[in-house]
A and B are shown apart, each in its own frame.
Chain A
Amino acid sequence: MHDQQKDYVLRTVEERGIRLVRLWFTDVLGNLKSFAISPAEMENALNDGMSFDGSSIDGYSRVQESDVLALPDANTFEVLPWADAKGAEARVFCDIAKLDGTPFDGDPRQVLKRNLGLARDKGYSFYVAPDIEYFYLAPPDSTNTPVLLDEGGFFDLTSTDIPSSLRKETIRTLETMSIPVEYSFHEDAPSQHEIDLRHTDALTMADSVMTFRFVVKEIAALHNVHATFMPKPLENIQGSGMHLHLSLFKGEQNAFYDENDAYNLSDTAKCFMAGLLRHAAEITAVTNQTVNSYKRLVPGFEAPVHISWARNNRSGLIRVPIAKRNSDSATRIEYRSPDPACNPYLAFSVILAAGLRGIQEGYELPVEADANLFEMDNDVLEKMSIHQLPQSLNEALHVMENSTLVADALGDHIFEWFLRNKRAEWRTYKTHISQYELGRYLRSL
């Protein structure tokens, strides 16, 4: 690590009177984990890392050598903007390493770094900009019934309502934490909001998504509001997605851009899209990792169901947004299935791996599907070779477990742990007797 960078962090801790430094990292399921150290420990942490027992972290558990090292990434050191009078706090994202300093296989951040390294070997840097949707709800009681806060519609100008001011406060906080916001608005559904982050490299963006979820929830909680990233909290209301705008850069050039193509898409972009489409089913368990995720991926809402692409068709899995004229750097593709409950490090990893596979193997991009696929019969779709995304977590896991692409991208440790954990989640769900079943069958059968 740069000595000067270390010096910068240590001086800031001193000058700003930092009381606690929070070391942030992420478990395999995408939960933000943290432990705090005193400022006096910071130099030590930067030099040698802090060891802790990883056995209580989801997906970190190993039979032996449960101790791991948290190595702060000094470039992510940031004073937290909600400091109280007693003194400021700071956070820094950590890479998790084994005690000998080599990357720990169970750390999602290390997994993403490894995958970005593979892209880098081919000369690519991977840029991501997510559009993140979520709901503001009343704090749930013991029945966990979602209660909406507002009745606003898309782009409603209800400037005085609580959710809008919450969103504004959230954006201000994000911007002071190096997370620039591109757009924000009230979504289609009541109480649903969307914040679009400005593109940055995938590692920074994965960190930003973690910070984002934390900030959104934290600020909502301060105002006695519950923010949720649950993919589909309400049956008849569209769910929350995390559409990802993706591009690859080679040096200064957008590798997705070709001025001679009708859609300004380069062969690289087309192969990347073809890779994503061909491996979409395999990576879906990672991009949509909960039982509930699959209740969002149903026809009739703005979520994709079919594995297809189009220029301006929001029912497809990949959309090619029309970039502003002469703006080669804005050429990108939008991958629409992920939801905001995913682990961003792992989701970005498998998406990148699928796209790179397409480039490496020179996959051919299927024809564009620009009709509304929701209105087409399944036979017609089958004839067009347009398949559906997995319909349940169970189905997604079945496809994933045979995928060498996902196994390679995640590494054996996470691949196996993830499948084990998610199969258990599916089993619990499958054996659960729902209100739906009782209502439908108890009296009639």
Chain B
Amino acid sequence: MNTRTSAIENVVGQMIAVFPNPPSIDLARTLDLAGYRWKAVSSADDAAKSEPVEGWAGAVVMCDEDPEGGWALCRSLRKNDNPVGHVLVLVNGSQLADLEMRDDLYDDFCLSPFHPRELESRLRHMFFTEIRGTRESLVEYSGLILNLETYQASFGGQPLDLTYMEYELLKFLAQNPGKVFSRETLLSRVWGYEYFGGARTVDVHIRRLRAKLGEEHANLIQTVRSVGYRFGQSKWSA
């Protein structure tokens, strides 16, 4: 399977915490242009309070104005029950020494004032290596993690118990977020043969998956009228 192509798509649709609140106009614009969904937080407490159910996908922490607040936030994100990966800190030239002995608190850093293209590249690389490099057999989307080696699924850190066909269907969808598939395509790609029950089987399994994802997350799998189903955000509406 190929997780490379969908690395960025996997992050799109997930929420990134951004510090401080409000962030600088440059930072906000860079994140927006790169297509990330983000939410500004003013403190570690605030980040905990406004954390989405599926957890933060990552964080961009600007330390130049309020270094204490910034590092406190990083620490709290890492101490989280479900530690947040993908933390990027922004420091100014005089703060480089602060990075020492804090290697565990961030994944990458960028010098501030930053070049928007550099920050964008660093973010893309950070999210990309996480998925491909260290955990090649994982499919991640918005708190959902599928481990292709062990066949295990979890959502927001909680195991998600699926039957075999539910797992296969969810795997296929999560590997192709944002794309719309017809029932017939799903039937042939997931069930793999001319399954007797017909495409109606797909509807039944989609409904079962939605039930297992729970009310708040059932809309991860969207019905696209008279076409089929789409997993996650549309690439066009995100």
Contacts and interface: CB of A to CB of B under 8 A. Distances in A.
Asked if chains A and B come from one complex, the reply is yes
A180 B163 CA distance: 14
Contacts of B198: 125, 249, 251-252
B208 A8 contact: no
A199 B197 CA distance: 13
Which among B159, B163, B166, B207 has the highest number of chain A CB atoms within 10 Å? B163
Contacts of A329: 200
A15 B152 contact: yes
A383 B199 CA distance: 46
A74 interface: yes
B165 interface: yes
Nearest to B200: A249
Contacts of A198: 204, 207
A153 to B, nearest CB: 27
B149 to A, nearest CB: 9
A81 B161 contact: yes
B212 interface: yes
A16 B212 contact: no
Interface string A2-21: 00110111011001100000
A8 B204 contact: no
A388 interface: no
Contacts of A8: 151, 164, 167
A76 B165 CA distance: 10
B161 A79 contact: yes
Interface string A194-221: 0000111100100000000000000000
B106 to A, nearest CB: 31
A16 B159 CA distance: 9
A47 interface: no
A230 B204 CA distance: 30
A97 to B, nearest CB: 21
Nearest to B160: A176
A120 interface: yes
Nearest to B192: A2
B237 interface: no
A175 interface: yes
Interface residues of A, number: 34
A178 B199 contact: no
Contacts of A74: 164
Contacts of B214: 175
A120 B212 contact: no
Contacts of A12: 151-152, 161
Given A178-B211, A198-B207, A125 B200 contact: yes
B95 interface: no
Interface in B186-230: 196-201, 204, 207-208, 210-212, 214
Given A8-B164, A125-B198, A201-B197, A178 B152 contact: no
Interface in B136-177: 150-152, 159, 161, 163-167
A178 B159 contact: no
B211 A125 contact: no
A373 to B, nearest CB: 34
Contacts of A158: none
10 contacts: A4-B164, A8-B164, A15-B150, A77-B164, A125-B196, A125-B197, A178-B163, A178-B211, A178-B212, A201-B204
Interface of A: 4-5, 7-9, 11-12, 15-16, 74-79, 81, 120, 125, 127, 175-176, 178-181, 198-201, 204, 249, 251-252, 329
